[in-house]
Amino acid sequence: MDVRTICLGILTRGDATGYEIKKLFEEGAYSHFLEASFGSIYPALTRLTEEGLVSCRAETQEKRPDRKVYSITQAGRRAFIDALSGPMPEDKYRSPFLFAMLFAHQLPPEHVHALIDQRIAETEAMLRHLDDVGATADGPGEQFVIGYGRATFEGALAYLMAHRARFETKEPAAAE
């Protein structure tokens, strides 16, 4: 899913500036499965405007830099639905944490232990975040996505809790 399509999707929910889109990426209900930087959002918005999929009105503000508010056009809505109707690219999960855990026996036990504890803390933080955004989420889609995130993170958390002892520091482990 490229940044273009994601911007289009966000704009179906209401007008926004590039800056606001970025904030949705890092703070919203999307943050656990989407990400993008200014360096990709601004050029995407410019191209989308050239192609007539979004329109742009400039708002001159006092005491604040000018802002460009983008709206999706009818053509944009059509292009968006088309993009969602085509074949879905596969989900991608890249996990440096799991990669490191694969080599747990080659690492100092206290390092492995720290890795797991850190991961537990991050997962708990993620669950709290999902609760926060879940409280104000509107449509059924958003509720579904947040629920899906909660289900996976809860599964992961339970597993981490249940298996951390395995790698506890200096656990002399009965046999090899």
Partner DNA sequence: GTTTGCATGTAAACGGTTACATGATTGG
Partner DNA sequence: CCAATCATGTAACCGTTTACATGCAAAC
Which range of residues in 60-68, 71-79, 105-113, 155-163 is near DNA by CB under 7 A?
A: 60-68
Q: Which two tokens stand for residue 116?
A: 């797991």
What burial letters (b/e) apply to 26-65, b meaning 16+ CB within 10 Å? eebbbbbebebeeebbbebbeebbeeebbbeeeeeeeeee
Contact with a second copy (CB under 8 A) among 155, 165, 168, 169: 155
Burial of 10: CB neighbours in 10 Å, binned 0-12, 13-18, 19+? buried
CB 46 within 8 A of CB 55: no
DSSP secondary-structure letter at 117?
A: H
Element (H, E) at 39: helix 38-50
CB 5 within 8 A of CB 80: yes
- Residue 23 binds to a second copy (criterion: CB under 8 A): no
- Residue 31 binds to DNA (criterion: CB under 7 A): no
Smallest distance, a second copy to C-beta of residue 156, A = 5
Rounded-to-integer distance, Cα 134 and Cα 142, Å: 8
Chosen from DNA, a second copy, none, partner binding at 163 (C-beta under 5 to 8 Å by type): a second copy
Chosen from DNA, a second copy, none, partner binding at 38 (C-beta under 5 to 8 Å by type): DNA
Contact with DNA (CB under 7 A) among 33, 38, 144, 148: 38
In the complex with a second copy, the residue whose CB is nearer, 57 or 111, is 111
Rounded-to-integer distance, Cα 26 and Cα 43, Å: 19
Which range of residues in 41-49, 50-58, 59-67, 96-104 is near a second copy by CB under 8 A?
A: 96-104
In the complex with DNA, the residue whose CB is nearer, 65 or 172, is 65
Q: Dihedrals φ, ψ of 86, to 5°?
A: -70, 180
Binding site for DNA (CB under 7 A): 2-4, 17-20, 23, 35-40, 42-46, 61, 63-68
**Binding site residues, a second copy, CB under 8 A:** 1, 6, 9, 12, 30, 32-35, 80-81, 84-85, 88-107, 111, 115, 139-142, 144-145, 147-149, 151-156, 158-160, 163, 166-167
